[in-house]
Structure 1
Amino acid sequence: MAATVPTHFPSSILFLRLSLHRHRVTEFPFPTQSRLSLRTRAAAGPDLLGDFGARDPFPQELESNFAEKVLGNVDTEHKILIPNVSALSLAKQDCAPIPPLQPPMSIDDAQKLLKKVIGWRLLEEEDGVKLQCVWKLRDFKCGVELINRIYQVVKATGHFPNLHLEDSNQVRAQLWTASIGGLSMNDFIVAAKIDEIKTSDLAPRKRIWA
């Protein structure tokens, strides 16, 4: 059913009703003239929109501490939580110094982190478990360009991969922490940073058949 919108609004507040928890209602007294105006207004039909505009609270409202009973009052404490390191993506984290006595990462932990990087796989060798990724590129020049881009990204981390240019158009990268004989969090951080490097312009061109 469509609501009938009144064409005029009173200049003073006629009636205030605050709905609190569990539909509790608090009513505040108003002058006699306002109550008379209210009777006249009630005869014209219900006011579906209420009164517009801001005003100062009545003394009775202040005494009732109604602001303490509603959501979003001025005393509500709002906290902005800063995500901890574990919540940040690997590419946004920084490499940390690795103590020499720190054990290498377990295979189970490495398998879990492997899901957070793209195109990398675990490689078990005699000197420890490593991360490896291979790129097929358009030509030798593109291979050199990718190695340069990788260097620009990882130089600030201080943790460098072993890079090999193979078959004139293939680059192979290996990451591991030699000081502990295996993988550390630093290896996955650097792998994630390398994943963000643009390589679409270096990839082989697709053949278009007529």
Structure 2
Amino acid sequence: MNQLPLNQRVCTPCQIGTPPLPPAEVEAQLLQLEDWQHQEWLLLRKDYEFKDFAAVMTFASEVARLAEAENHHPNIFIHDYRKLQLTLQTHKIKGLSDNDFILAAKIDQLPKP
């Protein structure tokens, strides 16, 4: 297991056939994140609320920039004009990998507009 903090690690391509993280590892890594939750051990989710639509879009753009840099992409849902939900999952393995937690930790460091 890598000992660097999640936000200092880099996402690496995941291979088909790699097993998803087991529940105990998911729980351990969740302790390093701010307000993220797992859904049935298959994905991570975090909900945000902003002051207005422009702030939502600013934050979503920063998440997109970060996701491109890491080559690991969340689902971004904008609803009720000032709410945003992020979900992360490693689609190749149909579950959670270290990459999901690495990106979540880096998203947690983004400034909130």
**TM-score per shorter chain, which class?**
over 0.9
Percent identical among aligned pairs is: 28
Is 1:185 matched with 2:98?
Answer: yes
Give the Cα–Cα distance (whole angstroms) in 2 for the partners of residues 190 and 183 of structure 1.
Answer: 12
**Whole-Å Cα distance in 1 between the matches of residues 75 and 55 of structure 2?**
18
Q: Does 1:156 align with 2:72?
A: no
How far 1:87 moved relative to its partner? 2.2
**What whole-Å deviation, never above 9, does each CA across 1:158-199 have from its counterpart, x for those lacking one?**
000000101100010000011111000000000001000011
Q: Counterpart of 2:79? A: 166
Distance in 2, matches of 1:178 and 1:97, equals 11
Match 1:93 to one of 9, 18, 25: 9
**More helix per residue:** 2
Alignment match, 1:118: 34
Whole-angstrom distance in 2 between the partners of 1:96 and 1:155: 13
Which one has more relative contact order, counting CA pairs under 8 Å at least 6 apart?
Answer: 2
Q: Does 1:146 align with 2:59?
A: yes
Q: d(CA) in 2 for partners of 1:156 and 1:145?
A: 17
Give distance in 1, aligned partners of 2:93 and 2:3: 26
Task: Return the alpha-carbon distance in structure 1 between the equivalents of residues 28 and 101 of structure 2.
Answer: 11
Aligned positions of 1:1-210 closer than 5 A: 86-124=2-40, 129-199=42-112, 202=113
User: Could you state the TM-score of these two structures normalised by the residue count of structure 2?
Assistant: 0.95
Structure 1 unpaired stretches of 5+: 1-84, 203-210
Output the aligned Cα RMSD: 1.2
Q: How far is 1:99 from its partner?
A: 1.3
State the shift of 1:120 in Å: 0.4
- Per the alignment, in what secondary structure is the counterpart of residue 155 of structure 1? helix
Using the size of structure 1 for normalisation, the TM-score is 0.52
Gaps of 5+ in 2: none
